[in-house]
Amino acid sequence: MTCLYGQEIVSVASNGKQASVTVRQDQQDVTSTFDAMVVCAGTASRTLASQLGDSVNIYPVKGYSITVNLLDEASQAAAPVVSLLDDETKLVTSRLGNDRFRVAGTAEFNGYNKDIRADRIRPLIDWVQQCFPGVSTRSVVPWAGLRPMLPDMLPRVGPGNKPCVFYNTGHGHLGWTLSAITADMIGDVVLQSMGSASKQPRPATLTTASA
Ligand SMILES: Cc1cc2nc3c(=O)[nH]c(=O)nc-3n(C[C@H](O)[C@H](O)[C@H](O)COP(=O)(O)OP(=O)(O)OC[C@H]3O[C@@H](n4cnc5c(N)ncnc54)[C@H](O)[C@@H]3O)c2cc1C
């Protein structure tokens, strides 16, 4: 197996029998063909899907996080060690080792825009100060990312219109949580479609999604 990293895909196509991917290398476009293709490109999946004749209506839903550096022992003792979900504010937290505490949340519809807005970061800091007054917020690293989300909030996991094209994308706010199961599901679908019977296929349908 060959893994190619750091590739910029400029276009994809399929003639129904093979899938082709064109990448830009040293200002030149290089096209490779494959037996099959699984599209899993986050919010860019929508554009790639349209090149393949599929409608995958993924929208970018921006979220923000702060990582609070726990620089002193008092802050390290005051920050929670278990993950939390504050249902009222819809904020979630994770303790990253001894000296970092991450708080994430918010859903902003602002296109493909990754600007980090101070007025979105401030409530996250305020929340930490209110809920965990012993934690110093002197050192905070802000971040913003785009959740690839479909209107029904379920990922698209399954075949496209053309044989040899598949999708495993659109996991929205639960991409990490669902990554293992949906990878397993799409693996079954690809195996089934490509004619291998080494695994018993299961239907590629997610029926539930948690908060
Ligand atoms: C603030 C925030 C908090 C979150 N918290 C959680 C959480 O607690 N639990 C959870 O389960 N999920 C969480 N998520 C959601 C999770 O991060 C996403 O669902 C997940 O990252 C989606 O993974 P993905 O691989 O499908 O897409 P992405 O992570 O968007 O990856 C897509 C990849 O495709 C690449 N790509 C796109 N176009 C091209 C191209 N033309 N050529 C080459 N490469 C390309 C991109 O560079 C990128 O590496 C959170 C998201 C945010 C924003």
**Sheet with strand 19-25: strands edge to edge:** 8-14, 19-25, 28-34
pLDDT, tens only, 40-70? 999 999 999 999 999 999 999 999 999 999 9
Half-sphere exposure of 111 (CA within 13 A, CB side): 2
Q: 106 in helix, strand or coil?
A: strand
Q: What's the pLDDT at 208?
A: 41
- Residue 1: per-residue pLDDT: 85
Name beta bridge partners: 33.
20
What's the predicted TM-score (pTM) here?
0.90
CA of 120 to the centre of ligand 1 (A): 20
Q: Which residues of the chain have pLDDT under 50?
A: 197-199, 201, 203, 207-211
Measured CA distances, 144 to 55, 78, 88, 110, 121 (Å): 27, 25, 21, 12, 9
- Most informative mutation of 147, 153, 168 for ligand 1 (most atoms within 8 A of CB): 147
The predicted structure's pLDDT at residue 52: 98
Q: For residue 50, report the distance from its CA to the centre of ligand 1, in Å.
A: 19
Please report the pLDDT score of residue 171 as a whole number.
98
| pLDDT per residue as tens digits for the range 8-22 | 999 999 999 999 999
Alpha-carbon distances, residue 81 vs 62, 165, 210 (angstroms): 26, 42, 22
